[in-house]
Amino acid sequence: MKYLKFGVLIVALVSLFTACSDDDDDSEDLIGNWVRMSDFDGVARSEAMSFVIGNKGYICMGYNGKNRLKDLWEYNNDGDYWTQKADFTGTPRSAGVGFSIGSIGYIGTGYDGVNYLNDFWAYDPSSNSWTKKADLIVNGDTTLGRSDAVGFALNNYGFVGTGYNDRWLKDFYRYDPATDSWRQITSILGTKRMGASSFIIGGNAYVVGGYNNDTYNYDFYMFTPQGDSGVWTKKRDIKDSNKDESYDDNYKIIRAYAAAFSINSKGYLTGGSNGSILSDTWEYNPTTDLWVKKSYFEGAARQRAVALTFSDKAIVATGTSSSYRFDDCWKFMPDDESNTND
Protein backbone atom coordinates (compact mmCIF):
# COMPACT_ATOMS: atom_id res chain seq x y z
CA MET A 1 0.00 0.00 0.00
CA LYS A 2 2.88 2.35 0.69
CA TYR A 3 4.09 1.85 -2.89
CA LEU A 4 0.58 2.40 -4.21
CA LYS A 5 0.20 5.63 -2.25
CA PHE A 6 3.60 6.81 -3.47
CA GLY A 7 2.59 6.07 -7.05
CA VAL A 8 -0.69 7.90 -6.63
CA LEU A 9 1.25 10.85 -5.21
CA ILE A 10 3.55 10.93 -8.25
CA VAL A 11 0.57 10.84 -10.63
CA ALA A 12 -1.07 13.64 -8.70
CA LEU A 13 2.08 15.76 -8.80
CA VAL A 14 2.52 15.17 -12.53
CA SER A 15 -1.10 16.08 -13.15
CA LEU A 16 -0.73 19.23 -11.07
CA PHE A 17 2.44 20.23 -12.95
CA THR A 18 0.74 19.62 -16.29
CA ALA A 19 -2.30 21.63 -15.28
CA CYS A 20 -0.10 24.51 -14.16
CA SER A 21 2.06 24.47 -17.30
CA ASP A 22 -0.70 24.01 -19.90
CA ASP A 23 -2.16 27.35 -20.95
CA ASP A 24 -2.98 29.28 -24.07
CA ASP A 25 0.71 29.12 -25.03
CA ASP A 26 0.73 25.30 -25.32
CA SER A 27 2.51 24.69 -28.62
CA GLU A 28 0.27 21.69 -29.35
CA ASP A 29 -2.71 24.04 -29.67
CA LEU A 30 -1.04 26.49 -32.04
CA ILE A 31 -1.45 26.65 -35.82
CA GLY A 32 1.34 27.20 -38.35
CA ASN A 33 4.02 24.86 -39.57
CA TRP A 34 7.79 25.42 -39.77
CA VAL A 35 9.74 23.22 -42.19
CA ARG A 36 13.52 23.22 -42.45
CA MET A 37 14.75 24.05 -45.95
CA SER A 38 18.15 23.94 -47.63
CA ASP A 39 20.75 25.57 -45.38
CA PHE A 40 22.10 28.97 -46.40
CA ASP A 41 25.32 28.28 -48.33
CA GLY A 42 27.23 31.26 -46.95
CA VAL A 43 28.90 31.44 -43.56
CA ALA A 44 26.68 31.72 -40.51
CA ARG A 45 25.85 35.33 -39.70
CA SER A 46 23.51 37.80 -38.09
CA GLU A 47 22.43 41.36 -38.95
CA ALA A 48 22.34 40.61 -42.68
CA MET A 49 20.30 42.52 -45.27
CA SER A 50 17.74 40.94 -47.58
CA PHE A 51 15.33 41.63 -50.43
CA VAL A 52 13.13 39.63 -52.81
CA ILE A 53 12.82 40.07 -56.58
CA GLY A 54 10.14 37.90 -58.14
CA ASN A 55 10.70 34.32 -57.03
CA LYS A 56 14.31 34.88 -55.95
CA GLY A 57 15.41 35.98 -52.52
CA TYR A 58 18.73 37.60 -51.67
CA ILE A 59 20.79 37.71 -48.47
CA CYS A 60 23.89 39.85 -48.28
CA MET A 61 26.55 41.01 -45.87
CA GLY A 62 26.06 40.88 -42.10
CA TYR A 63 28.37 39.95 -39.20
CA ASN A 64 29.91 36.55 -38.49
CA GLY A 65 31.19 37.37 -35.01
CA LYS A 66 34.60 38.52 -36.26
CA ASN A 67 34.14 40.42 -39.51
CA ARG A 68 31.58 42.41 -41.46
CA LEU A 69 30.87 40.62 -44.71
CA LYS A 70 30.40 41.61 -48.37
CA ASP A 71 29.03 38.47 -50.04
CA LEU A 72 25.66 38.13 -51.77
CA TRP A 73 23.60 34.95 -52.11
CA GLU A 74 20.51 34.21 -54.20
CA TYR A 75 17.81 31.80 -53.03
CA ASN A 76 15.79 29.99 -55.70
CA ASN A 77 12.32 29.57 -54.25
CA ASP A 78 11.32 27.03 -56.91
CA GLY A 79 14.33 24.77 -56.46
CA ASP A 80 15.23 25.43 -52.79
CA TYR A 81 18.91 26.11 -53.46
CA TRP A 82 21.43 28.93 -53.07
CA THR A 83 23.82 30.50 -55.61
CA GLN A 84 26.58 32.95 -54.80
CA LYS A 85 26.41 36.21 -56.72
CA ALA A 86 28.70 39.22 -57.15
CA ASP A 87 30.23 40.51 -53.96
CA PHE A 88 29.05 43.87 -52.74
CA THR A 89 31.47 46.57 -53.93
CA GLY A 90 30.96 49.06 -51.11
CA THR A 91 32.02 48.93 -47.47
CA PRO A 92 31.25 45.60 -45.76
CA ARG A 93 28.61 46.14 -43.10
CA SER A 94 25.93 44.79 -40.82
CA ALA A 95 22.57 46.05 -39.53
CA GLY A 96 21.62 47.90 -42.71
CA VAL A 97 18.30 47.87 -44.58
CA GLY A 98 17.20 46.16 -47.79
CA PHE A 99 14.19 46.30 -50.10
CA SER A 100 13.36 45.91 -53.77
CA ILE A 101 11.63 48.20 -56.24
CA GLY A 102 10.63 46.51 -59.48
CA SER A 103 13.47 44.32 -60.69
CA ILE A 104 16.19 46.04 -58.64
CA GLY A 105 17.31 45.37 -55.07
CA TYR A 106 18.53 48.16 -52.79
CA ILE A 107 20.62 48.09 -49.63
CA GLY A 108 22.05 50.86 -47.50
CA THR A 109 22.91 52.34 -44.12
CA GLY A 110 24.34 50.02 -41.45
CA TYR A 111 27.50 49.81 -39.36
CA ASP A 112 31.03 48.86 -40.42
CA GLY A 113 32.43 48.43 -36.91
CA VAL A 114 33.48 52.08 -36.65
CA ASN A 115 31.06 54.24 -38.67
CA TYR A 116 27.32 54.57 -39.08
CA LEU A 117 26.84 54.51 -42.84
CA ASN A 118 24.55 56.58 -45.08
CA ASP A 119 25.42 55.20 -48.53
CA PHE A 120 22.95 53.36 -50.79
CA TRP A 121 23.48 50.78 -53.50
CA ALA A 122 21.43 49.00 -56.17
CA TYR A 123 21.82 45.39 -57.28
CA ASP A 124 20.66 44.35 -60.76
CA PRO A 125 20.28 40.55 -61.05
CA SER A 126 20.14 40.72 -64.85
CA SER A 127 23.75 41.94 -64.99
CA ASN A 128 24.79 40.59 -61.58
CA SER A 129 26.26 43.98 -60.70
CA TRP A 130 26.16 46.67 -58.02
CA THR A 131 25.76 50.40 -58.66
CA LYS A 132 26.24 53.16 -56.11
CA LYS A 133 23.22 55.40 -55.68
CA ALA A 134 22.65 58.71 -53.89
CA ASP A 135 23.74 58.79 -50.25
CA LEU A 136 21.12 59.41 -47.61
CA ILE A 137 21.71 63.18 -47.45
CA VAL A 138 18.87 65.68 -47.14
CA ASN A 139 19.33 69.46 -47.08
CA GLY A 140 23.09 69.01 -46.85
CA ASP A 141 22.90 66.91 -43.67
CA THR A 142 25.57 64.22 -44.00
CA THR A 143 24.98 62.80 -40.50
CA LEU A 144 21.93 60.68 -41.34
CA GLY A 145 23.80 57.36 -41.35
CA ARG A 146 22.45 54.77 -38.95
CA SER A 147 22.23 51.13 -38.00
CA ASP A 148 19.25 48.99 -36.98
CA ALA A 149 16.78 51.06 -39.01
CA VAL A 150 13.72 49.78 -40.86
CA GLY A 151 13.38 49.90 -44.64
CA PHE A 152 10.56 48.99 -47.01
CA ALA A 153 9.19 49.83 -50.45
CA LEU A 154 5.74 51.10 -51.39
CA ASN A 155 4.37 52.68 -54.59
CA ASN A 156 7.77 52.50 -56.33
CA TYR A 157 9.49 54.44 -53.54
CA GLY A 158 11.84 53.24 -50.85
CA PHE A 159 11.42 54.32 -47.22
CA VAL A 160 14.03 54.29 -44.45
CA GLY A 161 13.70 55.46 -40.88
CA THR A 162 14.34 55.03 -37.16
CA GLY A 163 17.56 53.33 -35.99
CA TYR A 164 20.60 54.43 -34.03
CA ASN A 165 23.76 56.53 -34.60
CA ASP A 166 24.93 57.24 -31.06
CA ARG A 167 21.38 58.40 -30.41
CA TRP A 168 18.00 56.83 -30.94
CA LEU A 169 16.12 58.03 -34.01
CA LYS A 170 12.56 58.35 -35.32
CA ASP A 171 13.06 60.36 -38.53
CA PHE A 172 11.97 58.93 -41.91
CA TYR A 173 13.09 59.46 -45.52
CA ARG A 174 11.76 58.57 -48.97
CA TYR A 175 13.95 57.43 -51.85
CA ASP A 176 12.84 58.02 -55.45
CA PRO A 177 14.69 55.67 -57.84
CA ALA A 178 13.49 57.68 -60.87
CA THR A 179 15.45 60.75 -59.73
CA ASP A 180 17.94 58.96 -57.46
CA SER A 181 17.11 61.39 -54.66
CA TRP A 182 15.96 61.52 -51.03
CA ARG A 183 13.48 63.70 -49.19
CA GLN A 184 12.51 63.82 -45.55
CA ILE A 185 8.95 62.81 -44.74
CA THR A 186 6.84 62.71 -41.59
CA SER A 187 8.61 61.02 -38.69
CA ILE A 188 7.05 57.96 -37.09
CA LEU A 189 4.75 58.85 -34.20
CA GLY A 190 5.52 57.91 -30.62
CA THR A 191 8.94 56.92 -29.37
CA LYS A 192 12.31 56.71 -31.08
CA ARG A 193 13.54 53.18 -31.68
CA MET A 194 16.25 50.86 -32.97
CA GLY A 195 15.80 47.22 -33.91
CA ALA A 196 12.14 47.62 -34.91
CA SER A 197 10.49 45.34 -37.49
CA SER A 198 8.32 46.15 -40.50
CA PHE A 199 6.00 44.30 -42.86
CA ILE A 200 3.73 45.26 -45.77
CA ILE A 201 0.00 44.51 -46.01
CA GLY A 202 -1.79 45.86 -49.04
CA GLY A 203 -0.62 49.40 -49.67
CA ASN A 204 0.46 50.06 -46.08
CA ALA A 205 3.59 49.39 -44.02
CA TYR A 206 3.51 48.46 -40.35
CA VAL A 207 6.34 49.26 -37.93
CA VAL A 208 6.37 47.45 -34.61
CA GLY A 209 8.65 46.81 -31.66
CA GLY A 210 12.19 47.99 -31.14
CA TYR A 211 14.26 49.31 -28.28
CA ASN A 212 14.81 52.77 -26.79
CA ASN A 213 16.37 54.13 -23.58
CA ASP A 214 16.70 50.70 -21.96
CA THR A 215 13.03 49.97 -22.70
CA TYR A 216 11.33 47.73 -25.27
CA ASN A 217 8.77 49.65 -27.33
CA TYR A 218 5.14 48.57 -27.26
CA ASP A 219 3.61 51.19 -29.57
CA PHE A 220 2.63 50.12 -33.09
CA TYR A 221 2.05 52.21 -36.23
CA MET A 222 0.79 51.94 -39.79
CA PHE A 223 2.31 54.05 -42.57
CA THR A 224 0.28 55.04 -45.63
CA PRO A 225 2.25 56.61 -48.55
CA GLN A 226 -0.23 59.42 -49.03
CA GLY A 227 0.83 62.76 -50.50
CA ASP A 228 4.45 63.88 -50.34
CA SER A 229 5.09 63.04 -46.69
CA GLY A 230 2.89 60.05 -45.87
CA VAL A 231 0.51 59.50 -42.98
CA TRP A 232 1.14 57.54 -39.77
CA THR A 233 -1.77 55.93 -37.92
CA LYS A 234 -1.46 54.57 -34.42
CA LYS A 235 -2.64 50.98 -33.99
CA ARG A 236 -3.30 49.12 -30.76
CA ASP A 237 -0.33 48.71 -28.46
CA ILE A 238 1.27 45.27 -28.45
CA LYS A 239 0.70 44.70 -24.75
CA ASP A 240 -2.26 44.10 -22.45
CA SER A 241 -4.42 47.13 -21.91
CA ASN A 242 -6.71 47.52 -18.95
CA LYS A 243 -8.62 50.06 -21.01
CA ASP A 244 -9.68 47.60 -23.71
CA GLU A 245 -11.27 44.28 -22.76
CA SER A 246 -10.95 42.98 -26.33
CA TYR A 247 -7.20 42.54 -25.85
CA ASP A 248 -5.81 39.04 -25.53
CA ASP A 249 -4.84 38.61 -21.87
CA ASN A 250 -1.70 36.75 -22.94
CA TYR A 251 -0.15 39.31 -25.27
CA LYS A 252 3.62 38.83 -25.03
CA ILE A 253 4.65 40.43 -28.30
CA ILE A 254 7.05 43.14 -27.08
CA ARG A 255 10.52 42.62 -28.56
CA ALA A 256 13.35 43.99 -30.71
CA TYR A 257 15.27 42.47 -33.63
CA ALA A 258 12.44 40.14 -34.69
CA ALA A 259 12.10 38.72 -38.20
CA ALA A 260 8.97 40.12 -39.87
CA PHE A 261 7.02 39.21 -43.01
CA SER A 262 3.50 39.11 -44.44
CA ILE A 263 1.52 36.29 -46.02
CA ASN A 264 -2.03 36.46 -47.39
CA SER A 265 -2.82 39.90 -45.96
CA LYS A 266 -1.57 39.16 -42.45
CA GLY A 267 1.65 40.19 -40.77
CA TYR A 268 4.01 38.02 -38.73
CA LEU A 269 6.75 38.43 -36.14
CA THR A 270 9.01 35.61 -34.98
CA GLY A 271 11.99 35.49 -32.68
CA GLY A 272 13.77 38.59 -31.46
CA SER A 273 14.66 39.48 -27.90
CA ASN A 274 13.11 41.19 -24.89
CA GLY A 275 15.87 40.55 -22.38
CA SER A 276 15.99 36.90 -23.45
CA ILE A 277 16.15 35.31 -26.88
CA LEU A 278 12.70 34.36 -28.22
CA SER A 279 11.22 31.72 -30.52
CA ASP A 280 7.48 32.51 -30.42
CA THR A 281 5.57 33.64 -33.52
CA TRP A 282 2.66 36.11 -33.71
CA GLU A 283 0.15 36.86 -36.47
CA TYR A 284 -1.36 40.31 -36.97
CA ASN A 285 -4.80 40.77 -38.56
CA PRO A 286 -5.22 44.35 -39.87
CA THR A 287 -9.01 43.94 -40.03
CA THR A 288 -9.35 43.35 -36.29
CA ASP A 289 -6.12 45.12 -35.27
CA LEU A 290 -5.37 42.13 -33.02
CA TRP A 291 -2.61 39.52 -32.74
CA VAL A 292 -2.87 35.74 -32.42
CA LYS A 293 -0.09 33.45 -31.30
CA LYS A 294 1.10 30.90 -33.87
CA SER A 295 3.39 27.89 -33.60
CA TYR A 296 6.86 28.38 -32.20
CA PHE A 297 9.83 28.74 -34.55
CA GLU A 298 11.33 25.25 -34.69
CA GLY A 299 14.99 26.19 -35.05
CA ALA A 300 17.09 27.54 -32.21
CA ALA A 301 15.70 30.70 -30.64
CA ARG A 302 17.30 33.74 -32.28
CA GLN A 303 17.31 37.44 -32.98
CA ARG A 304 18.63 39.50 -35.91
CA ALA A 305 17.49 36.96 -38.51
CA VAL A 306 16.18 37.94 -41.95
CA ALA A 307 12.96 36.98 -43.71
CA LEU A 308 12.36 36.41 -47.43
CA THR A 309 8.68 36.89 -48.26
CA PHE A 310 7.11 35.07 -51.21
CA SER A 311 3.48 34.88 -52.31
CA ASP A 312 2.51 31.85 -50.22
CA LYS A 313 5.24 31.47 -47.61
CA ALA A 314 8.21 33.07 -45.93
CA ILE A 315 11.76 31.86 -45.36
CA VAL A 316 13.48 32.87 -42.11
CA ALA A 317 17.24 32.45 -42.11
CA THR A 318 20.48 33.27 -40.28
CA GLY A 319 20.45 35.21 -36.99
CA THR A 320 22.12 34.86 -33.62
CA SER A 321 21.50 33.62 -30.10
CA SER A 322 23.53 34.89 -27.18
CA SER A 323 26.40 32.56 -28.19
CA TYR A 324 25.98 31.34 -31.78
CA ARG A 325 25.29 32.53 -35.30
CA PHE A 326 23.17 30.46 -37.65
CA ASP A 327 23.00 29.39 -41.30
CA ASP A 328 19.80 27.32 -41.20
CA CYS A 329 16.64 28.28 -43.12
CA TRP A 330 13.02 27.62 -42.21
CA LYS A 331 9.83 27.88 -44.24
CA PHE A 332 6.66 29.02 -42.47
CA MET A 333 3.15 28.12 -43.61
CA PRO A 334 0.74 29.93 -41.27
CA ASP A 335 -2.43 27.93 -41.93
CA ASP A 336 -0.98 24.41 -41.70
CA GLU A 337 -1.04 22.31 -38.56
CA SER A 338 2.23 22.24 -36.69
CA ASN A 339 4.35 19.16 -37.37
CA THR A 340 7.75 19.00 -35.68
CA ASN A 341 8.61 15.80 -37.60
CA ASP A 342 8.66 17.24 -41.13
- Cite the beta strand spans of 65-203 per DSSP E: 72-76, 81-85, 97-101, 104-108, 120-124, 129-133, 150-154, 157-164, 168-176, 181-185, 197-201
pLDDT tens digit sequence for 74-129: 999 999 999 999 999 999 999 999 999 999 999 999 999 999 999 999 999 999 99
Q: Is residue 9 part of a domain?
A: no
Q: Is residue 13 part of a domain?
A: no
pLDDT tens digit sequence for 307-342: 999 988 999 999 999 889 999 999 999 999 988 877
Predicted confidence (pLDDT) at residue 19 exceeds the cutoff of 90:
no
Query: For residue 27, what pLDDT is reported?
Result: 57
Q: Is residue 92 part of a domain?
A: yes
pLDDT tens digit sequence for 274-307: 999 999 999 999 999 999 999 999 999 999 999 9
| CATH number of the domain residue 292 falls in | 2.120.10.80
CA distances from 164 to 158, 229, 253, 264, 281 (A): 19, 22, 22, 32, 26
What is the spatial distance between Cα 32 and Cα 334, in angstroms, rounded to a whole number? 4
Q: Is residue 239 part of a domain?
A: yes
Nearest to 52 by CA among 303, 330, 315, 256: 315
pLDDT tens digit sequence for 219-267: 999 999 999 999 999 999 998 765 666 666 678 899 999 999 999 999 9
Cα radius of gyration (the chain): 21
* pTM, two decimal places: 0.91
Residues 6-27, mean pLDDT to the nearest whole number: 39
Q: Is residue 26 part of a domain?
A: no
Q: Is residue 191 part of a domain?
A: yes
Q: 56: domain range?
A: 33-336
Query: For residue 18, what pLDDT is reported?
Result: 35
Predicted confidence (pLDDT) at residue 1 exceeds the cutoff of 80:
no
Q: Is residue 17 part of a domain?
A: no
Q: Is residue 15 part of a domain?
A: no
- Domain tally, the chain: 1
Nearest to 236 by CA among 193, 287, 303, 198: 287
What is the spatial distance between Cα 231 and Cα 66, in angstroms, rounded to a whole number? 41
Going edge to edge, which strands form the sheet with 56-60?
49-53, 56-60, 72-76, 81-85
